[in-house]
Amino acid sequence: MNDNFDIGIIGGGPAGYTYALHSSAQGKSVVLFEKDQIGGVCLNKGCIPTKSILHSSEIYKQTLNGEKFGVTAQNVTLDYSKVIERKNKTVETLRKGIELALKNAKVTVINAEAHIKNKNTIECNDGIYNCSKIVCATGSSPKVIKGLEFDHKFLLSSDDILKLEKLPQSILIVGSGAIGVEWARIFNNFDVETTVVELADHLLPLADAEVSKRLERIFKTEKIKFYTRTCVKAINNKKVTLSNGEVIEPEIVLVGVGRTPNITDKIDGVTYIGDVSGEIQLAHYAIKQAIEDIDGIKFERNLTPSVVYGTPEIAWIGKREQDLEPDTYKKSLVLLSAIGKAHCDGQTDGFIKILSQNGNIVGAHIVSNEASALIQQITIAIQNGISVYKLKEVCFPHPTYSEGVFDALFKLS
């Protein structure tokens, strides 16, 4: 077996498999090591399985509330085992697709744990692999908080939560980032009593303040309990005491406060990409890191879109309003209640907000159906310096949510 390669990659997640495929396309010999499953956290324990379960939860909720659309369903039941079965099938289908792509690209894949000895040597199963270049894309793991260490029974990580075989009666979610918000929506849709605890002043603390406030309003409407400026003070016999004095007794606790890079010490001469790099922990960011390094196609790191899924979706790009000095920018905000498509879909709680300086968009914050797609229109405009005036010349289709972007542009005049 050939143990000399142009590129040696440890980690088969979005960063790793993207690097492998693009390297192979350039005619380089590539060996990829993955100790678990190809696809990494995103495919197997993160983005894809979570969104699959989320979609099932939304179908369940829509079916129960179909009367306002003229659709009445009787004896609606939920089989959570089927939800998980579909999730597993979706993940497996996508994983096989990536494995086939790697095979067709003639990437040597070794399913075993590997270690970097130096900038040109990888050790695996007592074998030595000599590589002209080594890429480390070992990802991240759920972050552990002192006092809330995972026992994988009562105190669960985002990995553990995907392994549930049945729904709990109640859940406490610690943290209201993307993980916390999406799982709060999932459990609430499935009629699980859901409580969220957040240490910051508002839910979704990395978002624009106006987005956070709207999310809090939506949570109140959906009867999702939440406490901000609050943390878990103590846990005794599954009784959770919060710093605000509240005592709750959830069936399980999800600790979803972020992720920690899977690394100890970096080795000079090795390229680190994806979550392990210590930069933005998003799959699309990891993919762009890989493409930038192997293909030389640069990207604007500060223009990495953020998306939180569920109904409505939440997405943002660029600067937040609280980051801008007063009187240095213009702001426009279009409520979804002014958009025809939102009324057709029965989803009118949200807005499209655009911030501009000197005639150019510097930030956008969207709470809306299809926000994940809408934000990309604005990302392209910001990155390419397309002015507000030039965007006004674009014809937006009707009826669509994108009309809200069009209307917001004219409010910036």
Query: What is the SS3 assignment for 78?
Result: coil
User: What is the per-residue pLDDT across 29-44, written as a single tens digit (0 to 9) for each?
Assistant: 999 999 999 999 999 9
User: What is the per-residue pLDDT across 185-241, written as a single tens digit (0 to 9) for each?
Assistant: 999 999 999 999 999 999 999 999 999 999 999 999 999 999 999 999 999 999 999
Q: Which of 353, 376, 194 is nearest to 303 (CA)?
A: 376
Q: Which of 174, 177, 194 is nearest to 185 (CA)?
A: 194
Residue 201: exposure state from Cβ atoms within 10 A (0-12, 13-18, ≥19): exposed
Task: Find how far residue 326's CA is from the centre of its chain.
Answer: 31
Whether the pLDDT of residue 1 is over 80: the answer is no
Task: Find how far residue 114's CA is from the centre of its chain.
Answer: 27
Whether the pLDDT of residue 69 is over 80: the answer is yes
User: What is the per-residue pLDDT across 78-129, written as a single tens digit (0 to 9) for each?
Assistant: 999 999 999 999 999 999 999 999 999 999 999 999 999 999 999 999 899 9
Give the whole-angstrom CA distance, residue 162 versus residue 91. 12
Note the pLDDT of residue 151: 96
Q: Which CATH number fits domain 303-411: 3.40.50.2300, 3.40.640.10, 3.30.465.10, 3.30.390.30?
A: 3.30.390.30
CB 396 within 8 Å of CB 403: yes
CB 193 within 8 Å of CB 169: yes
Instruction: State in words which class domain 4-141+260-295 has.
Output: alpha beta
Locus of tokens 């499209």? 352
If one counts every other C-beta atom within 10 angstroms of the C-beta of residue 329, the result is 17
Asked whether this chain's domains 4-141+260-295 and 144-257 adopt the same fold, the reply is yes
User: What is the per-residue pLDDT across 278-337, written as a single tens digit (0 to 9) for each?
Assistant: 999 999 999 999 999 999 999 999 999 999 999 999 999 999 999 999 999 999 999 999
User: What is the per-residue pLDDT across 261-275, written as a single tens digit (0 to 9) for each?
Assistant: 999 899 999 999 999
Give the whole-angstrom CA distance, residue 44 versus residue 42. 6
Q: Which of 311, 99, 271, 77 is nearest to 186 (CA)?
A: 311
Dihedral, CA of residue 161, residue 162, residue 165 and residue 171, to nearest 10: 30
Give the whole-angstrom CA distance, residue 344 versus residue 69. 10
| CA separation, residue 137 to residues 24, 33, 124, 285, 392 (Å) | 17, 10, 16, 13, 42
If one counts every other C-beta atom within 10 angstroms of the C-beta of residue 9, the result is 32
Give the whole-angstrom CA distance, residue 378 versus residue 296. 24
Note the pLDDT of residue 2: 56
Whether the pLDDT of residue 246 is over 90: the answer is yes
Note the pLDDT of residue 55: 98
CB 233 within 8 Å of CB 227: no
* Arithmetic mean of pLDDT, 125-136: 95
Note the pLDDT of residue 386: 97
Q: How confident is the model at residue 182 (pLDDT cuts 50, 70, 90)?
A: very high
Note the pLDDT of residue 126: 84
Note the pLDDT of residue 39: 97
DSSP string, 211-276: HHHHHHHHHHHTT-EEESS--EEEEETTEEEETTS-EE--SEEEE-S-EEES-S---TT-EE-GGG
Give the CATH number of domain 144-257: 3.50.50.60
If one counts every other C-beta atom within 10 angstroms of the C-beta of residue 126, the result is 5
Sequence ranges of the domains in the chain = 4-141+260-295, 144-257, 303-411
Give the whole-angstrom CA distance, residue 350 versus residue 217. 10
For the chain, give the mean pLDDT.
97
Give the whole-angstrom CA distance, residue 241 versus residue 197. 11
Whether the pLDDT of residue 155 is over 80: the answer is yes
Give the whole-angstrom CA distance, residue 329 versus residue 306. 22
Counting residues of the chain whose pLDDT is more than 90, the rounded percentage is 98
Sequence-separated (6 or more) residues with CB below 8 Å from residue 404: 334, 336, 338, 339, 351, 352, 368, 374
